[in-house]
Amino acid sequence: MSGVAVAAGGCGTGARASQAELSLQREDLIAVSRALESTESSANQEVAATKVAWPLIVNGLPPSTTTIARARIAAAVGSAARLSAPALFEEAQARAITGPGSPIAGLFRTYSGLATRGWRLVWAAIEQIDHGDPMVARFARENVALYIESIYDAHFSLAQIGKKLRTGYRKLGGQAVFGATLTQGEVDALANTYSEATDRLHPHVGVRLGS
């Protein structure tokens, strides 16, 4: 790993310790970038399906849920269910990530969890409104705003990853230090995928709990 791996043996001076820390942070950022690449396809599919379904729920469920285009909702539910955080981003392993890569792992885990649960619970709410007894249906309608907001928040988290990645890459030395191990072009491509332009939902969620 030319220019990235720095020898840390000998527990020498403070300067050497600092270089060892930087080396570890760079290695972690490379690992985080590879993890983002591995899940790029499933994240893109979830984002695409959500953007198709989002206009149906952004302002809450319609008075009659029988009019909602269920196929669009089902596609979003399915794509979210297929999301899985890379093993590196799971909480136990993510604790060991150092430097700028650490918050990226947390952002992706937040996105994955909120999107998956949010869509599953929106679907369950529609089913309860359609087929549950009146008390269950009322509870579902009163609380569905929470699930809709969680979907919006999931995509807000996803959209922050690219900025964090670019900033971290620059902070740790950029192309001059990472070289071919992690190029500026690779970072830019990932930052464009995990960006506000690509992942934020529009319009902003228009329903609140109790509305």
Asked whether residue 130 is assigned to any structural domain, the reply reads: yes
Model pLDDT, residue 211: 53
Model pLDDT, residue 159: 98
Asked whether residue 205 is assigned to any structural domain, the reply reads: no
Domains identified in the chain, total number: 1
The range of the structural domain enclosing residue 40 comes to: 14-199
CA 39 – CA 105 distance, rounded (Å): 12
Contacts of 60 (CB under 8 A, 6+ apart): 144, 145, 148, 206, 207, 211
Asked whether residue 106 is assigned to any structural domain, the reply reads: yes
Q: Which residue has the higher pLDDT, 17 or 182?
A: 182
Q: How confident is the model at residue 84 (pLDDT cuts 50, 70, 90)?
A: confident
Cα 5 from chain centroid (whole Å): 29
The pTM (predicted TM-score) of the whole model is 0.89
Asked whether residue 209 is assigned to any structural domain, the reply reads: no
SS3 59: coil
Tens digit of each residue's pLDDT (9 = 90 or more) over 105-164:
999 999 999 999 999 999 999 999 999 999 999 999 999 999 999 999 999 999 999 999
Q: Average per-residue pLDDT in the chain?
A: 91
Model pLDDT, residue 208: 76
| pLDDT above 60: residue 2 | no
